[in-house]
Structure 1
């Protein structure tokens, strides 16, 4: 067994991955595979709480995997797998459902937000997916979970459920996970609405820079990005959210600091900033997109990576399932 702390994270294969997903998650995943025992899931079971086209969902799993590999995630150093390939996620979710209260789930703010966005599809899975998320985490005795502000409530539920089962069983069935807050720069916000986070499922494509965008599309989006009227290039999220967002993106792709950019662009105006930023983003994404295309052409390699990842994840999940089921009264299989 590795003496590294176990870290689990995942992204739903819905929409299209954005530069915000890179800055907020994937960049940190690549770094963490050197220092932690990492499991990274394609969370397809979570994705179907919203109606999905089956063929498109399958294709996005391959697309996301190729992008992960292109950025430097290494299947020899991290476990890369599809959530639905490991039966333990659903098995443990049912057990945890019987320890979660309706009141806890009703208080989940993301359910309220998502139910309000699609009133024709308020399904039980949408209500219950925080329990599945808790199962994802506890299944691997995860010690640390990278979380953003919008996921803190779900991690707290996972912690509560772990402690509750441990107390009722009178033994330590689950590791109680801790939040892991990576050192990252500013969040990447929407280009047309810089007070909201860039989203891979945004209905307005101009708000996001997608990792597979063509250079002309990237340039067009950045040049149309919202700024303000005073012309001063400085970082101030409260007073200048649009300009601050452009500086944050620039710093992320050019591997420099926001302070350096403020100094270099003092008095030059927004037009120059946007032009140079567009060039920097295109230059950053070009080698990524080239590597993506190479991985995408080799489906047998991708299938092999996912099969190996699922086998590894399932083997790691099995002892937790056996322990949890025994501790809660199930007859062990013969």
Structure 2
């Protein structure tokens, strides 16, 4: 089993990233061979600050390692360090079809009403994403609900390429369900919206770099309702902010929603919020401390990423060579 996943190096990691993906990646390391990459080529599909991009790559690498990604267990690398990603993506653009890409819901969402003004890269980035996966013969890809369509597209591309060129080169990947349950973390200001680094309000999210006082302040000011917590999870329906905070507490402590409610039933948020803040501080304090150490040693971060790139490149080179041969390009 080989797992591949990437994350764009844009902005600071927040609690939603940590509970929704990163800690699941950490657990995956003991279940499969894992390749994790900083998707800096994908970052070019929208306006980018060139001076900030390299810094953001290092920052994201530091955050992943601080959160528990072990470069000795997994392969951690910068996407652009391996030209094979872009080369294979171009070959696969001859296989992918306009109709497939037109149906991608994320393209519709991100381009909005300004499709003519969106970059070509934003339209075709699912093909690069397919190359990211197929280059390494990944058998599984961890995905959330919003990414299942991309795995289906990757499978379609793999199968069509194999059929068109009468080869058995690419492995159609499966969604990876290991690594435990990923929490769906919502905004602290709106229980109906995902926690996001693009939200203009910093109070809507807990950043990994927030200090203890800031974490406590953000939880104290998080939107709630006046009702006490129930003893039945079904009674949280229709109470999105309460449901979100209970879910965060459970994800941080490892308790089920039922266990959280059994502990706090009939109590108000005046009692629950301090307990939640305490649990968050206990989780994030060592991560923040390790992050500070890594940030101060850019040479070590660069070494880790270079080592990961060398290992990933060795894994991907045979696949790229075979793809060139299959389409009739001499190498």
If the TM-score is normalised by the length of the shorter chain, which range does it land in? Answer: over 0.9
Partner-residue secondary structure (3-state), 2:3 = strand
Structure-2 separation of matches of 1:172 and 1:24: 34
Contact 1:18 1:210 in 2 (8 A): yes
Q: Which region of structure 1 is more displaced relative to structure 2, 272-281 or 251-260?
A: 251-260
Q: Which runs of 5+ in 1 are unaligned?
A: none
Q: Distance in 1 between matches of 2:183 and 2:308?
A: 32
Displacement of 1:203 in angstroms is 2.8
Q: Match of 2:187?
A: 190
Distance 1:176 1:166, change over 3 A: same
Quick one: structure 1 residues 245 and 59, their matched pair in 2 at CA, closer, same or farther if it must change by over 3 Å? same
Partner of 2:213: 216
CA gap 1:124/1:185 in 2 versus in 1, 3 angstroms: closer
Q: Distance in 1 between matches of 2:191 and 2:114?
A: 23
Cα shift at 1:227: 2.1
Distance in 2, matches of 1:238 and 1:86, equals 47
Which among 226, 229, 252 is matched to residue 226 of structure 2? 229
- Secondary structure of 1:327's counterpart equals helix
Residue by residue over 1:167-211, the C-alpha shift from the partner in whole angstroms, topping out at 9 and shown as x without a partner, is: 011120101100112331541111112122222332332221111
Asked whether the equivalents of residues 227 and 268 of structure 2 are also in contact (C-alpha less than 8 Å), the reply is no
Structure 2 residue aligned with 1:141? 137
Q: Note the C-alpha offset of 1:273.
A: 0.8
Aligned length, in residue pairs:
328
State yes or no: 1:202 paired with 2:167.
no
Deviations 1:21-69 (A, max 9, x none): 1112111111111121100000011112121212222112111111111
Instruction: Determine the C-alpha separation between the residues in 1 that align with 2:117 and 2:53.
Output: 18
Residue from 150, 158, 164 that aligns with 2:160: 164
Distance 2:63 2:194 in 1: 21
Q: Aligned runs of 1:1-334 on 2, under 5 Å? A: 5-116=1-112, 122-182=118-178, 183-184=180-181, 186-233=183-230, 235-236=233-234, 238-331=237-330, 333=331
The alignment partner of 1:38 has SS state of strand
Task: Please report how far the alpha carbon of residue 121 of structure 1 lies from its aligned counterpart in structure 2 after TM superposition.
Answer: 5.3
Q: Deviations over 1:70-91 (max 9, x none)?
A: 1221111110000000101000
CA distance 1:159–1:62, shift in 2 (3 Å): same
SS in 1 for 2:213: helix
Deviation at 1:296?
1.3
Mapped partners of 2:47, 2:253: distance in 1: 37
Q: Following the alignment from structure 2 to structure 1, what is the Cα–Cα distance between the partners of residues 66 and 229?
A: 36
DSSP-derived class of the 1:44 partner: coil
Distance 1:78 1:128, change over 3 A: same
**Whole-angstrom distance in 2 between the partners of 1:91 and 1:185:** 33
Checking the alignment, whether the CA contact within 8 Å between 2:250 and 2:257 is kept in structure 1 is yes
Could you tell me whether the CA contact under 8 Å between 2:4 and 2:36 is conserved in 1?
yes
Cα deviation for residue 216 of structure 1 reads 2.5
Residue 278 of structure 1: how far off its partner (Å): 1.4
Q: Which moved more, 1:260-269 or 1:232-241?
A: 232-241
**CA–CA distance in 1 between the matches of 2:124 and 2:114?**
16
Pick which of 195-204 and 244-253 moved more: 195-204
Q: Deviations over 1:222-243 (max 9, x none)?
A: 2222222322345446322111
CA offsets 1:235-282 (integer angstroms, 9 cap, x no match): 446322111110111112223232222111112201211122112212
